[in-house]
Structure 1
Amino acid sequence: MHSLPTRRVALTLLAHPDDAEILCAGTLIRLAEAGWEIHIATVANGDCGTTMYSREEIARIRQAEGIAGAACIGATYHCLEEPDLNVVYSQETIRKTLDLFRAVAPTLLFTHPRHDYMIDHEQTHLLARGAAFGYGAPNSSTLPLLEGSAIPWLYYCDPVGATDPYTGEVVTPSTYVDVTAQMQRKAEMLACHASQREWLRAHHGMDEYIDAMRRHNADRGREVGAEFVEAFTMHRGHPFPQHDLLAELFGGHWQTVAP
C-alpha cells in the first residue's frame, strides 16, 4: 500500500455540462464523502444542446444546471466557455486550461479517453492531458503556483457505450469503482440537467436520460459482480503517478466475471 496524498483535490475536465454526472459522478460522490474537495469543469458551454433556445439562452440554462448539479455534492463548477462543436486544442484553449489547473491544483483528474464518439471529447482529452503534465511549470501560466501542485493521478472515463468508436471493441478498464450506494445521488445530479432530456429525445431519438446512465453502470457492474460500477483507465505515462490511487481508496482491484 502506498501513502495517500495529503492534498485531496479532484477535478473533472470534460467537454460538456452533464458529462461528469453521466461518466464519473458516483466516484466524485465517494471522494466528497471521504473529504475531498471536488471541482467539475467543462470546456464547452452547451450552446448547441437544444432545439428550442438561442445559443445564449441555452448556455445560460446549462451553466445554471451545471452549478446545480455540482452543488448537490458541495462541488464547484467551472466552464471555459468554448462553443459546442468547436472545442479545439489551440493556444487560447490551452491557456484557459492551464489557468484552470493553476487555480485548482488537482491531485486527481478525470477526463475523456483519447478515442470517443465526439470530437469535442477527444479535443478535451488533449487539453486535460497537456495541462496535467505542464501546469506546474512556473512559466506556463501567470497565475501563482499553489503549494502542493504536482502532476495529478489521471484517469480516463469510459467512452460512450464503453466502446472504441474506431474499432467497435469494448474498452478494457484498469479500475472499477463500486457506486451502488451512490446511484440515487448520482441520478439526482444528472436530473439537474433537465434541458437535456428534450434535446436528446429530439436529436438522439432517446427518452432515457437517467435510465441509460444506470444501464451503463449496471453493465460494467456485471463484469465484476457488483450492482453499479464506474470504470476508468489509468494513465501511466511518464512522469505521472504509477500506482492506482482509486483502487487503493475504494478497493478497485476486481476479478472480472466470466460471461
Structure 2
Amino acid sequence: MSSTENRSRRNVALALMAHPDDAEITCAGTLMRLAEMGWQTHIATMTAGDCGSLTGDAAEVARMRIAEGTAAAQLGGATFHCLNEHDGRVVYDRNALQKTIDLFRAIAPTLVITMPMSDYHADHEITGQLGRAASFVFAAPNASALPLVPGSTVPHLYYCDGHGGTDRLGHKVEPTTRVEITDQLDRKTEMLACHASQREWLRVHNGIDEYLSTMRYYNQTRGSECGVEAAEVFIQHTGHAYPANDLLAELFPLSASCPDEMKDTPSATGS
C-alpha cells in the first residue's frame, strides 16, 4: 500500500500552537468538527505559557496552564501535549526543531494547523516556522530516533488566522479556507473558559478584557464575511510536496447561505 493510500485511511489532526489557549482562540471549532467526524485530534503547545501570569513563579504558572490546556483539550475531544520551551523566548534552533519533529513522528498527523508566519507575537511566528519544518521532514527515516508510523508522509498544512485577523503590521489576513463553526462556538467558549488564569493577565498586560466575548466576536466577524454565524479561517500551505487539495474545504463546505462571490472561491467550493 502506498503512503498516499495510508494517509487517506489515517485521520489524525494536530494543532501546533505557541501557548495554552491559542488553539481555543484560533482553531478549536475546526478541531471539534474533525473529532465529530471520527478524527483523532491533538493540541500541542511549544510552551507552557509560564510568563502568562501576574503571580507565581514559572514552574507554578506552567503547572497551572498545562492543567488548563489539558482540561480544555479534553472538553473538545483532543489530547494535549506541551514541548516545554520558554514562554516569550521560543527560538528556531536545533533543539526546538528536534522536539517538534519527535512530536510529529509520534503522532504522525495527516492534517496540521499551526500558527501564522506573520503575527503580533514572535512566539507565534517561530511556532509556525517549526510546524512547517517538522511537517516536511518528520517522515524521513533518519529525522528522529522514534519509530516511523506506517503511512507517515507530508500532511495537509494550514496556518491559522492572525490575531484579530491581521498580520504583524496590521494588514488584514486574506484566508484561503473558511470553516463554519456556528454549532461549535458555545463549546469553544467553554474550552477557552478553562484558561481562567489568562483573563486578568491579558487585561493588565495587553489591555484586553472580556476574554470570551472577544473570541466570539472575532469568530462571528469572520463568519459574517461568508454569510454564516461564526467561522474560523486559515491559509493553506501548498508548496512543493504538500497536498494541493483544500481538505478542510472538502470536509466542511460552506452552507448554501454563503454569498455568491464566496461560493466562487476554492475555499468555499472545495475545488
- TM-score (structure 2 length as normaliser): 0.91
Q: Partner of 2:38 in structure 1?
A: 35
Deviation, structure 1 residue 112:
0.8
Q: Partner of 2:53 in structure 1?
A: 50
Deviation, structure 1 residue 144:
0.3
Deviation, structure 1 residue 207:
1.6
- TM-score (structure 1 length as normaliser): 0.95
Deviation, structure 1 residue 252:
4.2
Q: Partner of 1:109 in structure 2?
A: 112
1:119 paired to 2:122: yes
> What do the CA deviations read for 1:142-180 (whole angstroms, capped 9, x no partner)?
0000011111100110010111223x3211100110000
Q: CA RMSD in A?
A: 1.5
Q: Partner of 2:194 in structure 1?
A: 192
Secondary structure of 1:5's counterpart equals helix
Deviation, structure 1 residue 205:
2.0
**Contact 2:17 / 2:127 at 8 angstroms: preserved in 1?**
yes
Q: 1:163 aligns with which of 166, 172, 189?
A: 166
> What do the CA deviations read for 1:218-249 (whole angstroms, capped 9, x no partner)?
11111111110000110010010000000100
Deviation, structure 1 residue 181:
0.4
Q: 1:88 aligns with which of 88, 91, 100?
A: 91
Unaligned runs of 5+ in 1: none
Counterpart amino acid of residue 67 in structure 2: A
For 1:111 and 1:122, the matched residues in 2 are separated by 9
For 2:208 and 2:106, the matched residues in 1 are separated by 38
- Bigger drift between 244-253 and 5-14 goes to 244-253
Q: Partner of 1:75 in structure 2?
A: 78
Unaligned runs of 5+ in 2: 264-271
Alignment coverage as a number of residue pairs: 254
Aligned sequence identity (%): 56
Secondary structure of 1:71's counterpart equals helix
Counterpart amino acid of residue 61 in structure 1: M
**Contact 1:39 / 1:77 at 8 angstroms: preserved in 2?**
yes
> 1:160-239 residue pairs with structure 2 within 5 A?
160-166=163-169, 168-239=170-241
Deviation, structure 1 residue 53:
1.4
**Contact 2:15 / 2:23 at 8 angstroms: preserved in 1?**
yes
**Contact 1:246 / 1:252 at 8 angstroms: preserved in 2?**
no
1:131 paired to 2:152: no
**Contact 2:76 / 2:188 at 8 angstroms: preserved in 1?**
no
Secondary structure of 1:198's counterpart equals helix
